[in-house]
Structure 1
């Protein structure tokens, strides 16, 4: 396994030794998570060749590069990734690629405003897309990076970015209006892992994740029992599974609550570390966010 990783690493590092490759006269751009793919697509549009590594339901914490990924990365002119150690298995690869081709979206965010964590490798919560204001900053960041790489299309990127930022601002207002229908005392969100802390901070929710910030951390029996007691104490109506995390942990939590002669329903499936299927409303960042908020509010009322 170690040998295979070294071969993968060497294959990717050699990118810096190659000249830029263009397909149909356009730069080849590779992205990691579905959220970043959607963001870059909204800005780059027809002016770039875009390929995403991860699809719907893929957990970036546990994702490992395949041979096909090596080809995509080696042919890329620009690689956008989240950073803050979200892509746990790819961190060493990206950190070794010390050239302008690898760009961390999280670099757009002032570190002093991030949620800290002693339990995550970067010491920061990496789930930055759940703060719409952060995603607006990320949008402008991508506009700037693509404009630097393809100056001839700067106006197009700036126009696309400005239009997308307007949509994100509208999204934020819409979300706030939906959440306002839920009493403050009911704004407690229990999910499989701590992906929603930025959402909670931005919109006034107490957020509790069973597995912590990374899905690589298993929930123990004590974690389940402690959270079950919390659910009973707070009289929560619903808890939530996540599309990119096996539902068995939340089902175990539901069973633990029931064993104490209380009931809590699974209020639905939320999109956390990945968007929904391509071609669906939930397959876009804006659609995913609206879906999540509606699912949460309807289940907790």
Structure 2
């Protein structure tokens, strides 16, 4: 209630909370910053072509649009600080561009045929498109989506056919679904390990390196590269 401005991601990431945020917008400035990304750069969901996958922050070039929108909204809300907001945004964008280059350099150490990212739910489509990975999620975009035996078997077949050695769990989802894939692979005679935990719908704990955008992205890249290279 004390905030001068409310910024949120948008693209339906917040679900029903979006209605509340729009209501707040009647009293004070609110803005869905990810919706500043040009629509032609967004990925439609399989379930509804009129809706877009909200996990845009896994592409640094796309997330730069959101940074520009944050700067714009803050400058409009507090014009006296506009120069400072601009300076901070430019510095931060430079950091992210360096991180993007570093990530691409690291990914080069993974053989192209091994650039397959298997996770519990389908949160990494933008990552795959941006950085050249085939992405397979056992569940849909929602962490509440169900999966069945057929889904597990399809992933097991992909892992065996492409000789993929690692799959990944996510910080915000139970490991049960991915463990089913590991067990299914073992039964087929293909050993797959859990390559580590990725941050998908949440960052790390407050006060940790992974609790920042840069730290979360770095952790994910390091985990993926170390397991698949």
Structure number with greater CO (CA < 8 Å, separation at least 6) is 1
Match in the other structure for 1:285:
213
Take 1:238 and 1:299, find their aligned partners in 2: how far apart are those partners?
6
Is the Cα contact below 8 Å between 2:119 and 2:178 reproduced in 1?
yes
Match in the other structure for 1:190:
118
Take 1:95 and 1:149, find their aligned partners in 2: how far apart are those partners?
17
Take 2:147 and 2:154, find their aligned partners in 1: how far apart are those partners?
11
Take 2:135 and 2:23, find their aligned partners in 1: how far apart are those partners?
35
Take 1:183 and 1:260, find their aligned partners in 2: how far apart are those partners?
24
Aligned: 1:235 with 2:163? yes
Take 2:200 and 2:151, find their aligned partners in 1: how far apart are those partners?
21
Matching residue within 32, 41, 56 for 1:104: 32
Moved more, 235-244 or 225-234: 225-234
Shift of 1:92: 2.8
TM-score, structure 2 length as denominator?
0.94
Is the Cα contact below 8 Å between 1:85 and 1:121 reproduced in 2?
no
Match in the other structure for 2:98:
170
Shift of 1:121: 8.7
Secondary structure at the aligned position of 1:240 is classed as strand
Match in the other structure for 2:178:
250
Matching residue within 130, 141, 158 for 2:69: 141
Moved more, 175-184 or 220-229: 220-229
Match in the other structure for 1:75:
2
Secondary structure at the aligned position of 2:206 is classed as coil
Take 1:262 and 1:290, find their aligned partners in 2: how far apart are those partners?
29
Shift of 1:95: 4.0
Is the Cα contact below 8 Å between 1:189 and 1:205 reproduced in 2?
yes
1:24-39 aligned at under 5 Å gives the runs none
Residue segments in structure 2 that go unaligned for 5+ positions in a row: none
Residue segments in structure 1 that go unaligned for 5+ positions in a row: 1-73
Shift of 1:76: 3.0
Aligned: 1:221 with 2:149? yes
Shift of 1:75: 3.4
Shift of 1:207: 0.5
Shift of 1:176: 0.8
Take 1:260 and 1:177, find their aligned partners in 2: how far apart are those partners?
34
TM-score, structure 1 length as denominator?
0.72
Match in the other structure for 1:156:
84
Aligned: 1:116 with 2:44? yes
Take 1:84 and 1:164, find their aligned partners in 2: how far apart are those partners?
23
Is the Cα contact below 8 Å between 2:113 and 2:162 reproduced in 1?
no
